[in-house]
Structure 1
């Protein structure tokens, strides 16, 4: 029997490392809530382009979400807390720290999603919801 390959987990960690290492906004070494530090090659942006899918109707909607301003999609309230992109001379990527609340949940319930989403690794951290899917496309 062969051992399972560690290549995929290592690749996901390599792709997500700068963004995932920050954990929660406001905790990076500069004390900023803008996510990955500048020396990691990320540039802070003000608008996140999100793709939302309603699994019931198969409707796909592209949303522009300003940082720290909630947008709605169905019963979801989506707030982008930080949005970062790679410089133009590097491989395109975007990382956004997103909080998602569902209006059908109890007010005291935790968010449906709270964490970093990566454009180049959408399955690394994703919203797990029975009706909706959400992913980050770009930060501008």
Structure 2
């Protein structure tokens, strides 16, 4: 293998390691998502437990958790949930669809004028 080919291969491996670190592959699938719900109008905070695959209701929001993963015991705690959130006041396209992360809530979040949803944990 030429020096250029080795350098290109090393660069590709380093890029892959940066995108998918080995520790990030150690997630465990869980059955229940703990979500923090905030009503921005009343400033009321509550915790909603949503079972994966079953719709949960919070005010006008319908939350369907498709997957909920947590880090194993002994590693830095974190949780990630794939959710679809719809609002009965705005039928049609979902208000949110994607992953939410407990340790990085600003990365992917629900943009809603009244409600805020955050992942707390997966159990």
If the TM-score is normalised by the length of the shorter chain, which range does it land in?
0.7 to 0.9
Query: Counterpart of 1:138 in 2: which secondary structure?
Result: strand
Which structure has the highest helix share of the two? 2
The correspondence for 2:114, drawn from 120, 128, 131, is 131
The correspondence for 1:115, drawn from 85, 98, 108, is 98
TM-score normalised by L of structure 2: 0.80
TM-score normalised by L of structure 1: 0.71
Q: Which runs of 5+ in 1 are unaligned?
A: 1-13, 19-38
State the shift of 1:89 in Å. 1.2
Whole-Å Cα distance in 2 between the matches of residues 73 and 63 of structure 1? 8
How many residues of Structure 1 are paired with residues of Structure 2 in the alignment?
A: 103
Q: Which residue of structure 2 lines up, in the alignment, with residue 40 of structure 1?
A: 25
Q: Does residue 69 of structure 1 match 2:54?
A: yes
Whole-Å Cα distance in 1 between the matches of residues 96 and 29 of structure 2? 21
Pairs within 5 Å for 1:1-140: 40-106=25-91, 109-140=92-123
Q: What RMSD over aligned residues (CA atoms) do the two structures have, in Å?
A: 1.4
State the shift of 1:121 in Å. 0.1
State the shift of 1:100 in Å. 0.2
Runs (4+) of structure 1 exceeding 2 A deviation are none
Bigger-Rg structure (1/2): 2
Whole-Å Cα distance in 2 between the matches of residues 61 and 71 of structure 1? 14
State the shift of 1:46 in Å. 0.1
Whole-Å Cα distance in 1 between the matches of residues 76 and 84 of structure 2? 26
Which structure has the highest strand share of the two? 2
